[in-house]
Chains A and B, each alone.
Chain A
Amino acid sequence: MAGALEIQEIQGLCASPGVAVGTVHLAVEVAADALPPGDSPAADREKLRRAVAAAIAELKALVGRSDEESAGILDFQIEMLLDPVLVEMAEERILAGDGAALAWVAALDHYIAGIEEAPDEQLRARAADVVDIRNRVLGALTGRAPEDFAPGSVFVGKDLQPSLFLAHDWTAGGGIVLFDGSIASHVAMLARSRSVPMIVATGRFEVADGARLLVDAKEGRVVIAPEEARIREAKSRMAEARPAEPPRAGGTIETADGVAIRLSAIINDPLEFGSIDPSLFAGIGLMRTEFLMTSPTDAFNEERHYEIYRQALRWAGDAPVIVRMLDLGGDKTLPDLGARKSESFMGLRGIRLLLARPELARLQARALLRATAHGRLGVLLPMVTVPDELDAMSTIFEEESAVLVRRGVQTRMPEIGMMVEVPAAALMLDRFSRSAFFSFGTNDLAQYLAAAARDDRSVAELYDAAAPAICRLIAGGVALADAMKRPVGICGEMASEPRHIPALLAAGLRNFSVAPNRLADIRSAIGGLYSDGLAAAEKS
């Protein structure tokens, strides 16, 4: 222990809960005035371009070693570096006589300052990503490797760049304390998904490199030179909190007359798991899988599918996760999936395409079957029109299950349900006896019902005006599903819009899948209504 340090407590905000104890690693802050002076402008420009190219290559290599979430963050950095505007900003300064390193840092700092002034927290949080880009290129210019630090230590600094976080080995524990930082930053997202305790916004405080630090993140408290008793107390509080699953308080909300409404999350991309608190939702009501299509290698990679479904089930804990099979066709196909010129919303799409080109469906089915071992998995089939389609897909699952069993893989048959987005299906739910559950996809249901394409602005008004017709159709569908004793819910955008909630409640819906960023609005809308959709205020 370096001298008798005074015990000191500092308060910040919790960006990722947990308790960490370790020695301080103080971040090195780049001093621009210590940078090497310039050569000739031409040589400096060349140096800078080479450094940017090297940084891009490094980032691409890092993407190759990263999971989807981290890759998405690094992708943004690559895209920024590929944009000639960034280098041009620095070149202006080189022409004015600055050396490459100084020009780069000055240009980027000016740009970062602009982002830091943004009115929007989400945007301000991106400043750390640009700092990351700045430092990586600077490292390439000056030959300095980015600073890593000893495993198990607590990083203390103004902010922490995502790539530093990703390069560090967190398996030995440790934590993060930032003078500035943001709960919305990429690094906070990463810390939450890797369970690294992290506190932000403490303001600047003095602490010696190597001092002992307690990070009691949930309380937002940093303790310098903590006493053993204090550490024990924090750790025991955490141990108590751990075994008990957090109550899914957010998973249901009661209407004014006490009817429970389930709220599940809509997930478009596994990147979201890091930033969304699972305890606020009754699981995942719709996980889209089209993000896998951004890369053909991912699309046809069974392991990639499996890993992502596992991630979703891990996130949801004991709550159900409903994964929608690839919903492609018409306006979006893989290059090698027989892309047709058809922009029609009524062509070979959804389950029609899956059954027409079953190799991709079979691969996805195998990954889903394997994932059933890790939680409560349901499978949702897109754009089902007739019962035969459901039967055909069930057969594919049975066949692939048999393949896996022959390979010695244990599987369970997941519950298979259907999206209700074709009017012909919505009217006939009683014919779909093999469907384990129903989920109304109102975005497409609206365009088919109103014969108004949702991507054609000239008929946007008609599309919007179809809401009452949709609610009448939903009410009929809910009655049929209730008679079959099958769960029925909604996963269209309507369910994320407070103005539609009264009519949807009146139609009898009790299971809503909502966009995570609309959760608070939807909760408060439902809380102020009776289960028949009338406002509590009107009834009193």
Chain B
Amino acid sequence: MDNRSRQQAPAAGDAQGYCQTEIEVTHGFGLHARPSVTFTRLAKSFPCTVEIEVNGSQVWLNGKSIVKIMGARIRRGSILKIRTRGLRAAEAIHALQALVERDFDEEKKHGRSA
């Protein structure tokens, strides 16, 4: 479930970092193929663990696993909780939340729209 094989963070500024946020998915097509590629690629770019929970299910899924995310059948209007733990946790949660808010950049990197 969790990528515990990743090295635990050495003592650093936010080594004990633990962050959580809640956000509504507003992308018109939920979180299917392309948005899930974008989300998991971004999640994998951070050393901390990333987990998501959908609609208060109490089940936390590895946010770096596209298989888990596809299987979670997230759709538009779903409430997504994201939690991160470890190195650069705060940065990761900020970046992932911004990505969801930007509707996954419609899968591509236009960090700003019109």
> A residues engaging B (CB < 8 A)?
72-73, 75-76, 79-80, 83-86, 89, 111, 114-115, 117-120, 122-123, 125-126, 129-130, 186, 266, 268-269, 271, 286, 288, 290-291, 293-294, 327, 330-332, 345, 349, 419, 421, 439-444, 455, 457, 490-493, 513, 515, 517-518
Residues of B within 8 A of A76 (CB): 33-34, 36-37, 66
Nearest CB of A to B109, in Å: 5
**Can you add 12 more A-B contacts, CB < 8 Å, to A83-B66, A291-B108?**
A79-B40, A86-B67, A89-B67, A122-B29, A122-B30, A123-B29, A288-B110, A331-B112, A349-B112, A441-B114, A490-B114, A518-B28
Known contacts A439-B114, A517-B29: A123-B73 contact under CB 8 Å: yes
Cβ–Cβ contact A111 & B114, under 8 A: no
Residues of B within 8 A of A349 (CB): 112
Nearest CB of B to A74, in Å: 11
Nearest CB of B to A214, in Å: 33
Cβ–Cβ contact A419 & B33, under 8 A: no
What are 13 of the A-B contact pairs (CB < 8 Å)? A83-B67, A115-B70, A115-B73, A118-B73, A123-B32, A186-B33, A268-B107, A268-B110, A291-B107, A294-B109, A331-B111, A349-B112, A442-B114
Mask, B59-103, CB within 8 Å of A = 1, is 000100111101101011000000000000000000001100100
Cβ–Cβ contact A493 & B114, under 8 A: yes
B57 within 8 A of A: no
Nearest CB of B to A61, in Å: 19
Cβ–Cβ contact B113 & A443, under 8 A: yes
Cβ–Cβ contact B114 & A419, under 8 A: yes
Cβ–Cβ contact A268 & B114, under 8 A: no
Known contacts A118-B73, A119-B73, A517-B28: A286-B114 contact under CB 8 Å: yes
Residues of A within 8 A of B97 (CB): 457
Known contacts A79-B37, A114-B73: A332-B114 contact under CB 8 Å: no
B14 within 8 A of A: no
**Whose C-beta in chain A lies nearest to the C-beta of B106?**
A268
Residue of B32, B67, B112, B114 with most partner-chain A CB within 10 A: B114
Known contacts A80-B67, A332-B109: A123-B114 contact under CB 8 Å: no
**Whose C-beta in chain A lies nearest to the C-beta of B98?**
A455
Cβ–Cβ contact B30 & A290, under 8 A: no
Known contacts A439-B114, A492-B114: A114-B28 contact under CB 8 Å: no
Cβ–Cβ contact A129 & B33, under 8 A: yes
Residues of A within 8 A of B40 (CB): 79, 83
Nearest CB of A to B113, in Å: 5
- The CA-CA distance from A518 to B76 in the complex, in Å, is 13
Residues of A within 8 A of B33 (CB): 73, 76, 126, 129, 186
Residues of B within 8 A of A186 (CB): 33
- The CA-CA distance from A75 to B107 in the complex, in Å, is 12
Residues of B within 8 A of A125 (CB): 32
**Whose C-beta in chain B lies nearest to the C-beta of A447?**
B112
Nearest CB of B to A382, in Å: 8
- The CA-CA distance from A130 to B70 in the complex, in Å, is 10
Nearest CB of B to A530, in Å: 26
**Whose C-beta in chain B lies nearest to the C-beta of A73?**
B33
Cβ–Cβ contact B108 & A114, under 8 A: no
Cβ–Cβ contact B109 & A291, under 8 A: yes
**Whose C-beta in chain B lies nearest to the C-beta of A490?**
B114
Nearest CB of A to B57, in Å: 14
Cβ–Cβ contact A79 & B108, under 8 A: no
Cβ–Cβ contact B106 & A269, under 8 A: yes
Cβ–Cβ contact B112 & A293, under 8 A: no
Cβ–Cβ contact B114 & A85, under 8 A: no
Cβ–Cβ contact B112 & A443, under 8 A: yes
Nearest CB of B to A353, in Å: 12
Cβ–Cβ contact A492 & B32, under 8 A: no
| CB-contact partner of B28 in A266, A440, A515, under 8 A | A515
- The CA-CA distance from A440 to B70 in the complex, in Å, is 36
Known contacts A288-B110, A517-B29: A119-B75 contact under CB 8 Å: yes
Residues of B within 8 A of A75 (CB): 37
Residues of A within 8 A of B107 (CB): 72, 268-269, 271, 291
**Whose C-beta in chain A lies nearest to the C-beta of B67?**
A85
Residues of A within 8 A of B28 (CB): 515, 517-518
Cβ–Cβ contact B71 & A513, under 8 A: no
- The CA-CA distance from A454 to B63 in the complex, in Å, is 25
- The CA-CA distance from A294 to B73 in the complex, in Å, is 26
Nearest CB of B to A390, in Å: 18
- The CA-CA distance from A419 to B112 in the complex, in Å, is 13
Residues of A within 8 A of B75 (CB): 118-120, 123
Residues of B within 8 A of A331 (CB): 111-112
- The CA-CA distance from A505 to B111 in the complex, in Å, is 28
Nearest CB of A to B60, in Å: 14
Nearest CB of A to B20, in Å: 14
Nearest CB of B to A490, in Å: 8
Residues of B within 8 A of A327 (CB): 110, 112
- The CA-CA distance from A115 to B73 in the complex, in Å, is 7
Residues of A within 8 A of B71 (CB): 111, 114-115
Cβ–Cβ contact A122 & B32, under 8 A: yes
Mask, B34-47, CB within 8 Å of A = 1, is 10110011000000
Cβ–Cβ contact A83 & B108, under 8 A: no
Nearest CB of A to B89, in Å: 17
- The CA-CA distance from A454 to B18 in the complex, in Å, is 24
Residues of B within 8 A of A493 (CB): 113-114
Mask, B6-37, CB within 8 Å of A = 1, is 00000000000000000000001110111011
Residues of A within 8 A of B110 (CB): 268, 288, 290-291, 327
Known contacts A115-B73, A493-B114: A83-B65 contact under CB 8 Å: yes
**Whose C-beta in chain B lies nearest to the C-beta of A272?**
B106
Cβ–Cβ contact A126 & B108, under 8 A: no
**Whose C-beta in chain B lies nearest to the C-beta of A380?**
B114
- The CA-CA distance from A405 to B91 in the complex, in Å, is 49
Nearest CB of A to B114, in Å: 4
- The CA-CA distance from A269 to B105 in the complex, in Å, is 10
